[in-house]
Amino acid sequence: MHIPDGYLSPQTYVPAYGAMIPLWWRASAKLSKSLRNRQIPILALGAAFSFLIMMFNVPIPGGTTGHAVGGVLVAILLGPWAAMVAVSLALAVQALMFGDGGVTTFGANCLNMAVIMPFAGWAAYRVIAGNAPVDSRRQWVGAAVGGYIGLNAAALSAGLMFGIQPLIAYDAAGRALYCPFGLQVALPAMCATHLVLFGVVEAVVTGLVIAYLQRVEPSLLPVHAGGLCDMLPRIHSKDEGRAWVRARRFGLLIAALILLSPLGLYLPARFGAGSAWGEWSSHEIAQLAGYVPSGLRHMDSIWNAPMPDYGPKPIAYLFVAVVGVALVMLVTFALGKLIWRKNAEADTSVDAPADHS
């Protein structure tokens, strides 16, 4: 679902950036009212989870591959506005460092995976979970359904972006300049695989993690229904140590995923699966479409990532997982210090003992 450079026309990726810029600003404004400095580790681990789970490519034997995103899980734990920030940071590291997703299409990828997915999935989760207690089965069932709906909503949006390209950008001969496959091909290709397989994977991952947290750290799960603007639990000074315990327990899950990450390289090779739909190289698309669209040819190398394609061997894949997690967490911490400085200062003033002299 990571749309590369060259697959979307400027008529598509420029408006996508235009939509995302105010959404990023809005997300920062929402979080600046609720997030505290001591909560940033949990947000950083949420971004790291999203980065890692997207490395686990699930193969269709002899066909294509896909992956979970983790956006709905982060939305359940931290709220959809926080999920927007966390998934956007993961996508940024993937695009800039590893060439997974384009730089021109970064806004479009964020719109699909960091906005549509977490908000749609979180809404479905809230309908099912409601005000259920944290140990209720409705929590993990709602999470699973939310994950399934969220990923399929993102796939539908991506399919529409791919499919409209031949209609809005073509040369004098009528050939597409960017993605050469129209709606009649792109929509079934994107939606069918996600409805049948990849959405189920997202549902299983999201439901299992929520069930795991119900057992080991139920305080991370929401208890009462909340608005879209107030999903982050406020942690007081006396609970600061507890917040780090939460982060460490969530960190155990991240560590396990890092160790298992080479499966994302091994399984597609084991079952003979090819590239994800819409993420082909110029050589692959020439074989599929019979030609390389000129816009795609000119733009597919617009950015040369330092570590493209994550590495061809399991040890390299594992190394990338470690590097990627470190980068995502560092960026999140740095962004937290810049955007949420006022809340950190407010925490200090609130937590300081009163002067009764």
pLDDT at 29: 87
Alpha carbon distance 231, 265 (integer Å): 35
Q: Domain with 120 in it: what CATH number?
A: 1.10.1760.20
H or E segment and range at residue 66: strand 65-66
Say if residues 250 and 217 touch (Cβ distance below 8 Å): yes
Q: Is residue 3 part of a domain?
A: no
Q: Is residue 1 part of a domain?
A: no
Q: Is residue 109 part of a domain?
A: yes
Residues of the chain predicted below pLDDT 50:
224-238, 350-352, 354-357
pLDDT at 20: 98
pLDDT at 218: 85
Q: Is residue 17 part of a domain?
A: yes
pLDDT at 98: 95
Alpha carbon distance 64, 272 (integer Å): 9
pLDDT at 217: 83
Burial classification of residue 16, based on how many CB atoms lie within 10 Å of its CB (0-12 exposed, 13-18 middle, 19 or more buried): buried
Burial classification of residue 63, based on how many CB atoms lie within 10 Å of its CB (0-12 exposed, 13-18 middle, 19 or more buried): middle
Alpha carbon distance 119, 139 (integer Å): 17
Q: Is residue 4 part of a domain?
A: no
| Residue-number span of the structural domain to which 93 is assigned | 10-349
Alpha carbon distance 222, 232 (integer Å): 9
pLDDT at 345: 59
Distance of CA 350 to the CA centre of its chain: 34
**Cα dihedral value 251, 255, 261, 262, nearest 10:** 170
Q: Is residue 355 part of a domain?
A: no
**Total number of domains in the chain:** 1
- Three-class SS state of 180: coil
pLDDT at 244: 58
Q: Is residue 26 part of a domain?
A: yes
pLDDT at 243: 57
Q: Is residue 2 part of a domain?
A: no
